[in-house]
């Protein structure tokens, strides 16, 4: 589960990680009132996706009136399909230096890994590609936790002159990561200002499997990811035009790769998981087809616990409402029954992942 920036920063604050003063508002008048108290501010769209700055979802305002105008503009935006319903009004803190600090899980090493770079404010992937020597990575033994020497080495790689402050923040951020069952926690930029080190942005992703023991009060987002999760499925939005519904994460990734191989661009990752029933398949189609960028949809099912006739039933229930062409590949349990059911509706069938991917890319290009 992704957290909004304001929610991540509320958690940072509980761990005494410095953050700017801020107010969450849902209208332009609220933004103007907040700016009147703070002075120069930054208006930041609260959406569960990256790229806000490039999309115009972050703006500075030097007066309450300007804050009103900018907030009104941003609140009317949609960023990568996410409507902006709230903005964070944050006091402007001028960075002297911008750094990056993040923690995630290295599944190969089976341990948390802390990444630090003296170059912040841009995508860490961009830094890794263009200046890999600027990134320091430190694996942390999950049984012993972070050691003093590890925190010191990371802090020195960021800013040796501010090492004591940075050591303190690194240790606290690791506590945030562990205590809240994070898959990712990130500060970008972590800025040095005239008043000290401060987290100007915050990102947190919580492990869905640990949500039962976490108490997050974040409001429901109505996002496709959230809707899928509530129905026992996994969904990740992407930037392409071909919708994907698959059972099993491995097969889903292979399907996405095959679509790219044939010149298509996936619009999403969707795993309906083993044993999906007709209602889940129907819901999956509703979710994927609601993306206005989707021009064609591939359904790739390998029937083990999942029964192909159940999948076919779910497709048939919603097929008349969907105006997007489908390519369906069914293989495994009750395959013949499922294929016969779909054949009556003239739905394009495929016998392999490769054939299905090639077909759906062709359909997408023709629409």
Tokens of 216: 């997050």
186 is catalytic: yes
Confirm or deny that 106 is annotated as ligand binding.
no
CB atoms within 10 A of CB 194: 8
Q: Return all residues near 348 (Cβ < 8 A) that are at least 6 apart.
A: 325, 326, 327, 328, 359, 363
Rounded-to-integer distance, Cα 321 and Cα 298, Å: 17
Confirm or deny that 247 is annotated as ligand binding.
yes
Cα 154 from chain centre: 26
DSSP assignment of 86-119 equals -EEEEE----SEEEEEEEEEETTTTEEEEEEES-
Confirm or deny that 239 is annotated as ligand binding.
no
Cα 344 from chain centre: 39
Confirm or deny that 52 is annotated as ligand binding.
yes
Of residues 4, 6, 100, 235, which has the active-site annotation? 100
Rounded-to-integer distance, Cα 6 and Cα 225, Å: 19
Of residues 5, 32, 66, 186, which has the active-site annotation? 186
Confirm or deny that 44 is annotated as ligand binding.
yes
Residues belonging to the binding site are 44, 51-53, 90, 93, 98, 188, 201, 247
Residues forming the active site: 100, 186
**Known binding site for Mg(2+): residues?**
188, 201
Q: Can you say which residues are annotated as belonging to the binding site for ATP?
A: 44, 51-53, 90, 93, 98
């Amino acid at each position: 589960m992704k957290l909004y920036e304001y929610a991540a920063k509320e958690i940072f604050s509980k761990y005494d990680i410095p953050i700017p003063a801020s107010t969450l508002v849902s209208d332009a008048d609220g933004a103007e009132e907040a700016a009147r108290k703070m002075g120069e501010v930054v208006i930041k769209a609260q959406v569960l996706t990256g790229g806000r700055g490039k999309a115009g979802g972050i703006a500075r305002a030097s007066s309450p009136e300007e804050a009103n105008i900018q907030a009104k503009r941003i609140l009317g935006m949609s960023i990568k399909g996410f409507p902006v319903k709230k903005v964070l009004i944050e006091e402007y803190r001028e960075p002297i230096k911008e750094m990056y600090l993040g923690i995630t899980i290295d599944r190969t090493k089976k341990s948390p890994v802390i990444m630090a770079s003296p170059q912040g404010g841009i995508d860490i992937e961009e830094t890794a590609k263009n200046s890999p020597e600027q990134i320091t990575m430190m694996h942390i033994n999950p049984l012993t936790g972070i050691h003093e020497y590890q925190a010191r080495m990371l802090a020195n790689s960021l800013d040796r002159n501010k090492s004591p402050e940075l050591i303190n923040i690194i240790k606290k951020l690791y506590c945030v990561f562990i205590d809240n069952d994070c898959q990712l926690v990130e500060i970008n930029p972590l800025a040095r200002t005239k008043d000290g080190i401060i987290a100007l942005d915050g990102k947190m992703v919580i492990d869905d499997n640990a949500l039962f023991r976490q108490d997050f009060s974040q409001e429901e987002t109505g996002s496709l990811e959230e809707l899928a999760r509530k129905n026992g499925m996994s969904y990740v939005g992407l930037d392409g035009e071909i919708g994907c519904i698959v059972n099993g994460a491995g097969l889903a990734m292979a399907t996405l790769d095959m679509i790219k191989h044939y010149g298509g661009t996936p619009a999403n990752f969707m795993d309906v998981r083993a044993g999906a029933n007709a209602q889940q398949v129907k819901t999956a189609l509703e979710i994927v087809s609601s993306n206005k960028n989707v021009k064609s949809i591939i359904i790739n099912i390998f029937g083990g616990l999942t029964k192909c006739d159940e999948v076919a039933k779910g497709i048939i229930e919603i097929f008349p409402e969907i105006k997007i062409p489908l390519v369906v590949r069914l293989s495994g349990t009750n395959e013949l029954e499922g294929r016969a059911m779909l054949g009556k509706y003239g739905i394009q069938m495929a016998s392999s992942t490769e054939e299905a991917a090639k077909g759906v890319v062709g359909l997408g290009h023709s629409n």
